[in-house]
Each structure stands twice: as structure tokens, then as C-alpha cells.
Amino acid sequence: MTNYSVHVTRLLAANEHGPLLNAQVFAHSLDRLSQPSTQQLELLQSLQMLEKLREETHNLLDLCEQRGLSALSALCRKVMHHANCEFSLVHRWGVCAWTGHTVNEFLCVSVNTAEVCIDSRFGAFVQSLWNMSHLEVIESLRMDESEPTEGITVCAEEVALCYLTSFAHVKSTLGITLAKLHDLSLVEESQNSEH
């Protein structure tokens, strides 16, 4: 995780000089230079790492979908692709769109006009997913603040840790979900073979 921290800190520092680009666009702009600087090459490496982490998340979501968790995959993809998601905590009885269990507290996720309500215990996962997917938006807003809040300073390492924690939480949660699903399918297979 420490190696990732260096990359994210590098990306945050680069963002202070202008908006973050994607790795492909940045690589193309470096191709035009006869001798890109070490700093520019390191930034490209960091952008590629960020895109790799996001690609790993998409791959995990593909696996979820293949294994019958299409509702989970669909909502995650919406959260990842739409920066304008709205999240609200609602206290009422209902059925979670992901688990099918009755709960009395929901996290309602609104994307455009569609709303999906899931058990509030998935709130940290959904927020982490949004954070890791919209790092550029968050950083752009953070850098655009004209007046820093008095007495509050945030160093790049702390911000990097927040993003890395989001990536780790999403990857871990999806991995655990897929492992549990695999374990359930093994149990079902053994029960079917006994009959």
C-alpha cells in the first residue's frame, strides 16, 4: 500500500498545477516531447496506477455480474460513472435492493432520476466507491476553494491515505462478497451431489 501512497501523493501534487488527466491523454502529450522530465514520467506512472486500480474494480464488478449479482454491479457502475449521485439516509422499513432483507434504515442512492435503496450498512462501501471513482472531481473542488478554512490544514499524505483507504475498502468488500458467493456455490454443489 505504501507504493500506492507515493503515486497518489504525486497525483495530488500534480493536481495543484492543473486538472488531472487520464493516462492515455498524458502519455500522448509526452510523446510529443523530445525529452520528458523524470517528474512527467513519474506522473504518467501514477496515472497508469490509478487507472489500473479502477480497472481492477471493473473486473471485480464483471465477476459479480457473471455470478448473479447484477443489481450490485449495476448500482456500482452508476455510482462510478456519475459524479452527481445523491446519497441520503432514510429511516423506514423496506427491502434492501441488494440483499432482499427487510431493514429499517436505508442508504438511498439517486442517479439522475433513478433511486435505489440499500441497507445502510453498505454506506461506507458506496461512499468509498464514489470517492475512488471521482478523485479528479473531489480534487478539482478542493483546489478551487478560494479561502482555506482557518486552523485546518490537510497534507497530501492524509488525502492520499483517504483515497487509498477507499480503494482498499472497495476491493476488499467485493473480494469478500465474491468469496462468500463461491463458498455458497460449493455448499450447494455438495448438497446436490449428495442427493
pTM for the full predicted model: 0.72
CA distance 48 to 94: 42
CA distance 47 to 21: 8
- pLDDT tens-digit series, residues 61-103: 999 999 888 989 998 999 998 888 889 999 999 999 888 899 9
DSSP class of residue 27?
Answer: H
CA distance 125 to 109: 12
Indicate the range of 5-19, 25-39, 44-58, 93-107 predicted with least confidence. 5-19
3-state secondary structure 99-153: CCCEECCEEEEEECCEEEEEEHHHHHHHHHHHHHHCHHHHHHHHHHCCCCCCCCC
- The residues spanned by each domain of the chain are 2-146+165-194
> Phi and psi at residue 97, in whole multiples of 5°?
-65, -20
So what's the pLDDT on residue 137?
Answer: 76
Q: Is the pLDDT of residue 1 over 50?
A: no
Indicate the range of 21-25, 126-130, 168-172 predicted with least confidence. 21-25
- Mean model confidence pLDDT for the chain: 76
- pLDDT tens-digit series, residues 114-165: 888 999 999 999 999 998 888 777 777 766 664 555 554 556 667 777 888 8
